[in-house]
Amino acid sequence: MNITELIKNKRFAPGKGVMEPPPDKGIKRFGFLLWNHVWKLVTLNVLLLAFCVPVITIPAAFCGLNRVLIKLVREGHCFLWSDFWKEFKANFLRGMLFGLLCAAILFASYYFLSLSISYGQNGFDVFTGAIGFLLFGFAVLFSSYVFVFLPTLELNNMGIAKNAFILSVTEWKTNLVIVGSLLITTLLTIAFFPYTIFVILIILFPFYQLIVCTAINGPLQRRIIGPYEEGKKQTP
């Protein structure tokens, strides 16, 4: 038996290869989706960059991106262009509203960090600096939840904001994954610049957002979608 036949037998053996169901959650599911849908991520990166050219469309573009990715995470498949375009149009104004809110929080973070440098006796004031870092972390977490919830949940703006806020301050394991992934991705991108320009243009944003969507899907199902579906079953 040659090597080709060995690979074929292993790949199509019961419970192996394409016959094996994808992992349910966690890093294994992330790796499975990344490996099997890498070209969709590349296409998504091109779409995102193209639709972000007018700055005001950036929030809506991320809604479209996350719509595709959260469907991949939850269902294992998607219709790339139609899902992206449908969500881009549906959440254009709502995305802009939340984008302005997150931008305001980031500006406040920048303001307090600037004050900490200006007022600090040793070059840094701890109190204002701590406020600045807390606001920055909250902006990252809040925006991560918001732009996954917008294309996933049929809630009004207040409902989206309320749930995003609650999970931003309670889901510490998920929050560590989101913030840690952002820090590692940013540091590696800066450390190997300009070589990482190729990665930025090809796959960086969908890669990071796939991490975010995979991490958020657990609490999203456990704390929002699951209880809602259970309530519908109990309603006569």
| pLDDT per residue as tens digits for the range 45-88 | 999 999 998 889 999 999 999 999 999 999 888 889 999 999 99
* pLDDT of 25 over the 80 cut: no
Quote the pLDDT of residue 236: 60
Q: With respect to residue 68, please indicate whether it lies within any of the assigned structural domains.
A: yes
Q: With respect to residue 30, please indicate whether it lies within any of the assigned structural domains.
A: no
Quote the pLDDT of residue 121: 60
Q: With respect to residue 220, please indicate whether it lies within any of the assigned structural domains.
A: no
Q: How far is CA 209 from CA 186, 195, 206, 231, 232, in A?
A: 13, 21, 5, 30, 31
Quote the pLDDT of residue 7: 39
What b-and-e string marks burial along 9-44, b requiring 16 or more CB atoms within 10 Å of the CB?
A: eeeeeeeeeeeeeeeeeeeebbeebbeebeebbebb
pTM of the complete model beyond 0.75 = yes
Quote the pLDDT of residue 20: 54
Determine the structural domain holding residue 104 and report its residue range. Answer: 50-213
Q: Which residues contact 208 (CB under 8 A, 6 or more apart)?
A: 181, 182, 185
* pLDDT of 151 over the 80 cut: yes
* pLDDT of 199 over the 50 cut: yes
d(CA 81, CA 100): 26
Q: How far is CA 49 from CA 44, 73, 218, in A?
A: 9, 22, 28
Pairwise pLDDT comparison (110 vs 24), residue with the higher score: 110
Quote the pLDDT of residue 231: 74
Pairwise pLDDT comparison (69 vs 22), residue with the higher score: 69
* pLDDT of 3 over the 80 cut: no
Pairwise pLDDT comparison (101 vs 55), residue with the higher score: 101
Q: With respect to residue 6, please indicate whether it lies within any of the assigned structural domains.
A: no
d(CA 63, CA 38): 19
Q: With respect to residue 5, please indicate whether it lies within any of the assigned structural domains.
A: no
Helix (H, G, I), strand (E, B) or coil at 101: helix
Q: With respect to residue 43, please indicate whether it lies within any of the assigned structural domains.
A: no
- Both tokens assigned to 164: 């995003």
Note whether 198 and 207 are within 8 A (CB).
Answer: no
Residue type, 158: M
| Helix/strand/coil (H/E/C) assignment for every residue in 129-173 | HHHHHHHHHHHHHHHHHHHHHCCCCCCCHHHHHHHHHHHHHHCHH
Q: With respect to residue 206, please indicate whether it lies within any of the assigned structural domains.
A: yes
Range name among 98-102, 112-116, 163-167, 218-222 with the lowest pLDDT average: 112-116
Q: With respect to residue 23, please indicate whether it lies within any of the assigned structural domains.
A: no
As a whole number, mean pLDDT of residues 111-120 equals: 83
% of the chain exceeding 70 in pLDDT = 86
Q: How many domains does the chain have?
A: 1
As a whole number, mean pLDDT of residues 4-19 equals: 44
d(CA 13, CA 47): 37
* pLDDT of 19 over the 90 cut: no
| pLDDT per residue as tens digits for the range 26-38 | 788 888 888 889 9
Quote the pLDDT of residue 2: 45
